Every structure is written in C-alpha cells, then in structure tokens.
Structure 1
Amino acid sequence: MTADALAAWCRIRNQIDWTSAVGEAPAPVKATVDGLATWCVAGGRSSSPDRGYRLLAALARSRADASLERPLTCGLLAEWQRLVLGMPEVPFRQGEAFAKGGRERYALTPHTQRNFQDCLRESADLRVPLASRAARAYLDVAFFHPFPDGNARLAMLTLAYVLELEGVRLDQTGPLQTTRYADDPAGAADLAALVCVLIRSTHRRATSARH
C-alpha cells in the first residue's frame, strides 16, 4: 500500500521552523494588478468558462469574509468550496484520498478533521511570519485534502485569505503553481520563502507605480 502522505506532512510540518523560514514582509500591500482574479479567470480557461466564474465568486466571498475577519475554519472553507464546485453541499471527505496519479495517499482517521481544524487555527498565530502562515495553510489544504474535489483551487484561495486578512494582495500567482510533495520539508520552506518574495516584489512594483 502507498505510504500515508498526510502522516508524512504532519510529521514534517511540526519539524519545520516556520518562524525563521522567512524574513519579514511588508503589510498591507495593495497590488496594481489583481493576481488572484487573473488566476481565477485562467482557471476557467482550463476547462470551461463556468469554472472561472465559480472561482471568481469564491474569491469575492473569501474577501468579504476577510473583511469581517472570520476565523479560518473547515466550515468556512466548505462555504467557499460550494462556490468553487457549484454544489449545494460539500462534506468533508469520507475515505482515503489520492493525488498525483495515485502516488500520494491521504489516509482518513477519526481525528483527521479535528487535526485539520487545529492546523487551520494556527494560521492566526502572529508569532509566525505572514508568508510562512500563508504557505503552511496552503500545504495543509493540499495534504489534508479535505474535500473530494477542488482542493488545489481551495489551497490557493486559502493562501490568499491568510494574506488578505493582513491587507496583502499579490500581483502574480503563477510561481506558486508548481507541484508540492507531502514528504519534502525543503520544498515547504521554499514555498514560504517564495510567498515572501512575491509579497515584496508586489510591494516594490506597487510603490514604483505610484511614483
């Protein structure tokens, strides 16, 4: 049987020093180009226009939720996921999940949903730099794989939400769209560093545009 990638992620997640994985990034940052909206539209082109419209609706909803400072919870993600998938209800997965052509298996235990909820709660820990919190939440969604479908899209919305809560919007998301592996601590730390770079570069371009 394929090894449990979720267990590997939980082990690695607790070994990474997220506090020192990146430096400080500016906040708030208002991009001159809405990179997430561009990503949503591009997501629609990959299959059908409706997919893009649903992603834009989920993005708008997530930003409205950020304006209300709603805590990041599994229930909140389910609300966005209903919009992403265009379904009236999206329950937490009821069995094992697979990704990457079956090469990664995410087991399900009686504690999986509770553990996921605990991980999401850590996205509000201000002792950890913003970029690390956003990257870690992205990977939590990717590797807990909470819903039967659409988890990659939800992971991006989750990363954006953590940033949005502190007034940060990126002007590009393309570099984030690479394959991540649950048993790769260096890759997880690199993602946090990449988010930090994207925040800084967005801030630099926005500052230059104002002058």
Structure 2
Amino acid sequence: MVDDIAERLARSLPASGGPRPPAGPAVDHLARWLAVRETVAWQEASNRGGEGPVTPARDGAAEDIRAFDRALDPARAEGLLAALERLRADAAHGTPLDFALLRGWQQHVLGTARPPEFRTLPAFAKRGRERYGIAPDTRARLDACLAESAESAGRADSAGSGEDAGAPLPLTVRAARAYLDVCFFHPFDDGNARSAFLALVFVLAREGVTLDSVSLLRRVTLQADSAQDALSLANYVDVHLAETRRRAAAPAS
C-alpha cells in the first residue's frame, strides 16, 4: 500500500520539483532483479507445506481484503474482490499466467473503463529508491518469467549445481517468484503491489491451493537485488501453506 501511495505522489509532483537524483547512470532495479533471479538458490526454500490441493474453511485472501482494504477504501476492496473472483475462475480453467491475464484483473483493481496498458516509461517504487527500466522487449520478458510459474516449467535450472538442479520447484517457490516478477517488472502505472499479490494467489489457486491467511504476504517490503529477500518470501508462503494444511486437517471442535 505504501508503494502504491508513493507512486501516486510521485506522479503528482512537477517534473522540476524535489531533489535531483545523484549524478551518473541510473540504476535499473529490474535488471538487478533479473540477474538475482538466476542465482537464487530456490531449492533451499523450505517446503513444509507439501504438495497437493487444500481447501480451508476460509479464504484468507478475501478475508484480508475485507478487513484491511475495506478499512482504507470500500471501493478499493470491492475492486480487489472482483479481481479475486475473476482470478479464481481463470485458475479453475488452468489459464496461463501472462500480462494479458494480469491486466484483466487490474481493470477491476483500478476501476478503469478498460484493461490498463503496459507502462511506457521507467517506473519507481520505495519512495524512488528503486527504478525499473523499460525496453522494447520488457513485456515479452515478463511473459516469459510468468510462464515459469506453471508446474511443468517451474524447474530449478538456475538454482546452482547439485542433485536438485533441474528438479521441479515447489509450488510455494513458483508463487513467490511470480509475485516478485510482477513487483519488479512493475507493469502498471498504479496498483503493482496488489497485482503481485493476485499473481501469487493465482499460481496457488491454479493447483488447487487456497490459503486461510495471507498476513505475512501483504505486509512485507522486498528489495529487487536481494536473493535473501526472494527466499524469505518463498518461506513466508510455505509457512502459510503449512499452517493452512494443519488447520484444515484438524478435527472440528
């Protein structure tokens, strides 16, 4: 949410206002993320949550939106809930995750008349501390990264050497990586944190997994150039999945 607000404030300022950035070439944090993405030891992420579908008694994503987003703005919450409903329908059909799918959800998130387009300028987040570049192939590269969220494509090809290299990545890792891809490609002019969250929920839902809580996943700040942050997010997803399975299996009191 802080990132969303910072983006809106930055766009509202005059071009000549505020402190000037340091001299020298601008850092491209999208490029940094793509470099880090290839070196993260994804196979080291915890996998206590296991594999296979799980349907808990409550939809944690929907409950969090009703509790958190509705307190901020009822219209914001309704847009997210509409996107979540469409997301779950897309997941049930096994739809591939790409930018076209994201923008369909984002129309509900932002309440726009038509699905928003991919950004055409460099984007900024974290009060301007991170800058995400733009190139003619940026959208295509996002689609290629998001395609790796599918079970058949989610392999540890870049996770270093060893017996686990090339093995399928756990669902929790693929969901976390999709979240980070959307965060750092930053495809929209607004609402990228919400889009990243929806992407994560979709990757889980496509394999029959619903979390009964998502609190750790919407209250974090992650750095584009930190491999440890990437692993931490995957571990957070796994914590939620393990707890969801435990509570779903517990006998009703």
* TM norm structure 1: 0.95
Specify every segment of 5 or more residues in structure 2 that has no aligned partner in the other structure, as ranges: 1-24, 155-167
Which residue number corresponds to residue 43 of structure 1?
69
Which residue number corresponds to residue 207 of structure 1?
249
TM-aligned CA deviation for residue 39 of structure 1: 2.0
Higher Rg of the two aligned structures = 2
Which residue number corresponds to residue 135 of structure 2?
109
| Distance in 2 of aligned mates of 1:8 and 1:98 | 14
* Conserved? CA contact 2:83–2:109, under 8 Å: yes
Counterpart among 14, 23, 43 of residue 19 in structure 1: 43
Specify every segment of 5 or more residues in structure 1 that has no aligned partner in the other structure, as ranges: none
Greater share of helix residues, 1 or 2? 1
Task: Number of aligned residue pairs: give it.
Answer: 210
Give the ranges of 4+ consecutive aligned residues of structure 1 lying more than 4 Å apart after TM superposition. Answer: none
Aligned pairs for 1:70-149 within 5 A: 70-87=95-112, 88-124=114-150, 125-126=153-154, 127-149=168-190
- 3-state DSSP class of the match of 1:105? strand
Counterpart among 153, 170, 184 of residue 211 in structure 2: 170
| Distance in 1 of aligned mates of 2:141 and 2:252 | 44
| Distance in 2 of aligned mates of 1:71 and 1:44 | 30
TM-aligned CA deviation for residue 26 of structure 1: 3.4
- CA shift in 2, pair 1:49/1:209, >3 Å: farther
TM-aligned CA deviation for residue 38 of structure 1: 1.4
| Distance in 2 of aligned mates of 1:131 and 1:172 | 14
* Conserved? CA contact 1:81–1:90, under 8 Å: yes
**Please, which moves more after superposition, 25-34 or 163-172?**
25-34
* Conserved? CA contact 1:2–1:103, under 8 Å: no
TM-aligned CA deviation for residue 32 of structure 1: 1.7
| Distance in 1 of aligned mates of 2:69 and 2:30 | 26
The one-letter code sitting in structure 2 at the alignment partner of 1:108 is: I
Task: Tell me whether 1:65 sits opposite 2:107 in the alignment.
Answer: no
Counterpart among 53, 59, 70 of residue 34 in structure 1: 59
TM-aligned CA deviation for residue 209 of structure 1: 4.2
* Conserved? CA contact 2:51–2:171, under 8 Å: no
* Conserved? CA contact 1:26–1:203, under 8 Å: no
RMSD over aligned CA atoms reads: 1.4
- Aligned-pair identity in percent equals 45
- 3-state DSSP class of the match of 1:30? coil
TM-aligned CA deviation for residue 43 of structure 1: 1.6
Counterpart among 79, 96, 107 of residue 54 in structure 1: 79
| Distance in 1 of aligned mates of 2:251 and 2:183 | 34
